[in-house]
Structure 1
Amino acid sequence: MYDPTRLAALVAVAEAGSIGRAAARLGYTAPALSQQLAKLEREAGTALLVRHHRGARLTAAGELLLVRARRALDELDRARHELAQLAGLSGGRLRVGTFMTAGTHLLPPVLSAFRRAHPDVELSVTEYEPPLGMRAVALGEVDLALTHAYVPGDPMPAPEGVRLEPLLTEELVLVTAPGHVLSAGQGRLPLSGLAGQPLVSMAPANPHRRGVEAALAAAGASVAVRCESPGYAVVCALVSAGLGVAVVPEMTAAGSVTPLGVRRLEPPELHRTISVAYRPGGGSPAADTLQALLRGAFTRGGAVQ
């Protein structure tokens, strides 16, 4: 059975004429949408797109599937609307908390799918730096919140009455300026290979910084923190400018607007887990529906791959 998310990606490319424009319309990054289309081609067992310098066009097989995809998506939209009316999702409000990376790369396509299915539900999104999103759920300020935890890093238990459902785990990777010697090697780079490198790091109280620096120290890599920034966008920009190297989540590296060299690290145990915080038994039908969409999109390797 074809995944509706991938069928929607095919329709978007057919209408937009390029993967980049289709990705912007759906709220994906272009690489993420390309992976969705590649998976659809594997499901179909044939090429569906021909990429060229001006964009992309559908093959004969792609055109055939496009007709069926539109019909299937229309039927699914009708079913969602009818079910929403039965479940009380024809109105009301859904309040969502997120942190910057998830709000930029993960949440938009899921909220877009929710909006298509439930256009009458009012949506609001508020940014919280973890772990503040969990507290917002506990206080009833938002219905759900995306949050994260790092390994290594200080554990952040959920407040009373709040549970965490893990959605995805991503590695922490080394980012450097383009052409840097550390990003040019093959295979994983041992943490000890960062010894003596100037490190662009987060603010001193950030648990990610403390955990990464502890791991580097345990591996015998004594680093000098040359720059500090409260956000990954600035960290990546400083790294790209040659002010040092950094250890960041893989999604952050892939979504950087400045050019970077990227290399995986050894051991691969350094990672970040992204979870959704919620109140068991206290969710509205809209919150339960969005949580199911988040679970489906991420745990099956969908929108975030």
Structure 2
Amino acid sequence: MNLTSSQLALLLAVKQGGSLARAAETLGITSPAVSQQLAKLERDLGALLVERGARGAKLTPLGNLLAEHSERVAAELSRAEETVAHYLGAHANRLRLGAFPSAAVALLPDGLTALRYRHPEAQLSVVDVPTDGGTELITSGELDLAITASYSGAPSAVEGVRFEHLLTDPLRVVLPDDHPQAQGPASQAVELKAFEKDAWACSITGRPARTQLNSAAADSGFVPWVPFQTESYDVAQALAASGVAVAFVPELALVPGRGTRARRLKPALARDVFVALPASASHVALAGELLTILKKTGQALHRRQQSAATLG
């Protein structure tokens, strides 16, 4: 038969109380209920577990062995409760974040300021992650929330992780200000084909941004020449400012400066920015709070982008 923890607890209560009446009081049930449960357990086991007498009740040798198991079960349950309390306590006031640099600059400050104001004792931390990274740190439990991006629609499904869309981040082509395509109205989109013979600054082969460039260029009928390979949009823009390259740069990462112009592309290209967090994040209350703030920030950025596009 399958013993249950409640049956073991019944035997432990008899052992500790020394009578069926005291066991009933400990368990919060009636004495007849204790007698009935013990009788059923003994029938199921085919062995006597309690010796009843005028001075009370005591366990048989087998009953004592089972009561010892009950003590160990009770101890494990107590430790389990402590584990739950520690886990929830550790997460209640802690938020471990990951973000790629341009998202950390554009999206996180408002949220971190709000959390610091609302929860002065909160333990906040941020680590750099690759543009398309962070989800593996969510699944491993090292991060509570990560800001990630996809250059090809929705990110691939990851078990135990849910994604919340924040915004679509348009890509611009950043040019030296003396480039022929840098002339004319800022609102005028330029054809990607116009950069067929230019040197490009972009990430290495296999990275999402490079894959997007290669695919868009293929659609326009050419293979891009990429002698400058960097993951940093700051470096890419510096190379454009020096006059040696052109580069795709998302609006979140644009740094207006001398020596460059940022132009819209035709056809338009973009990346999508998401928040990744555990599929069940109820134990991390601050994650849900920050997500709400990030969505508002993303909506505000989107409105500014639309306004700039209209004015441009």
Query: Do Structure 1 and Structure 2 share a fold, with TM-score over 0.5?
Result: yes
Distance 1:257 1:90 in 2: 42
For structure 2, the residue ranges without an aligned partner over 5 or more in a row are: 1-88, 306-312
**Which residue in 2 is equivalent to 1:251?**
252
In the TM superposition, what whole-angstrom CA distance separates every residue of 1:66-103 from its partner, at most 9, and x where no partner exists?
xxxxxxxxxxxxxxxxxxxxxx9996211111111111
Distance 1:167 1:302 in 2: 9
Distance 1:271 1:189 in 2: 15
**Which residue in 2 is equivalent to 1:234?**
235
Q: Which amino acid aligns with 1:267?
A: P
Q: Which amino acid aligns with 1:117?
A: R
After TM superposition, give the deviation of residue 247 of structure 1 in Å: 1.2
**Which residue in 2 is equivalent to 1:183?**
182
**Which residue in 2 is equivalent to 1:205?**
206
Q: Is the 8 A contact 1:89 1:118 kept in 2?
A: no
Distance 1:174 1:149 in 2: 18
Q: Secondary structure at the match of 2:264?
A: strand
**Which residue in 1 is equivalent to 2:127?**
126
In the TM superposition, what whole-angstrom CA distance separates every residue of 1:199-219 from its partner, at most 9, and x where no partner exists?
111122311112212211221
Distance 1:208 1:96 in 2: 23
Distance 1:207 1:258 in 2: 28
After TM superposition, give the deviation of residue 291 of structure 1 in Å: 1.0
Distance 1:150 1:304 in 2: 21
After TM superposition, give the deviation of residue 240 of structure 1 in Å: 0.9
Larger-gyration structure (1/2):
2
**Which residue in 1 is equivalent to 2:162?**
163
Distance 1:125 1:103, change over 3 A: same
After TM superposition, give the deviation of residue 299 of structure 1 in Å: 2.5
After TM superposition, give the deviation of residue 245 of structure 1 in Å: 0.6
For structure 1, the residue ranges without an aligned partner over 5 or more in a row are: 1-87
After TM superposition, give the deviation of residue 188 of structure 1 in Å: 0.6
Q: Is the 8 A contact 2:92 2:286 kept in 1?
A: no
Q: Is the 8 A contact 1:200 1:225 kept in 2?
A: yes
Q: Is the 8 A contact 2:145 2:277 kept in 1?
A: yes
Distance 1:133 1:304, change over 3 A: farther
Distance 1:117 1:304, change over 3 A: farther
**Which residue in 1 is equivalent to 2:297?**
297
Distance 2:245 2:194 in 1: 14
Distance 2:90 2:183 in 1: 52
Distance 1:237 1:300 in 2: 28
After TM superposition, give the deviation of residue 258 of structure 1 in Å: 6.0
After TM superposition, give the deviation of residue 223 of structure 1 in Å: 2.7
**Which residue in 2 is equivalent to 1:48?**
none
Distance 1:89 1:120 in 2: 12
Residue identity (%): 32
**Which residue in 2 is equivalent to 1:100?**
101
In the TM superposition, what whole-angstrom CA distance separates every residue of 1:187-239 from its partner, at most 9, and x where no partner exists?
11112111211111112231111221221122123432121112111111111
After TM superposition, give the deviation of residue 104 of structure 1 in Å: 1.9
**Which residue in 2 is equivalent to 1:277?**
276
Q: Is the 8 A contact 1:134 1:158 kept in 2?
A: no
After TM superposition, give the deviation of residue 184 of structure 1 in Å: 1.3
After TM superposition, give the deviation of residue 273 of structure 1 in Å: 0.6
Q: Is the 8 A contact 1:236 1:256 kept in 2?
A: no
Q: Is the 8 A contact 1:89 1:121 kept in 2?
A: no
- The worse-fitting range, judged by mean Cα deviation, of 117-126 and 280-289 is 280-289
Distance 2:239 2:90 in 1: 45
Q: Secondary structure at the match of 1:104?
A: helix
User: What does 1:146-161 correspond to in 2, within 5 Å?
Assistant: 146-151=147-152, 156-161=155-160
Distance 2:118 2:90 in 1: 9
Q: Secondary structure at the match of 1:262?
A: strand
Q: Is the 8 A contact 1:196 1:222 kept in 2?
A: no
Q: Secondary structure at the match of 2:281?
A: coil
Distance 1:229 1:294, change over 3 A: same
Q: Is the 8 A contact 1:90 1:121 kept in 2?
A: no
Distance 1:173 1:302, change over 3 A: closer
User: What TM-score does the superposition give when structure 2 sets the normalisation length?
Assistant: 0.63
Q: Secondary structure at the match of 1:281?
A: coil
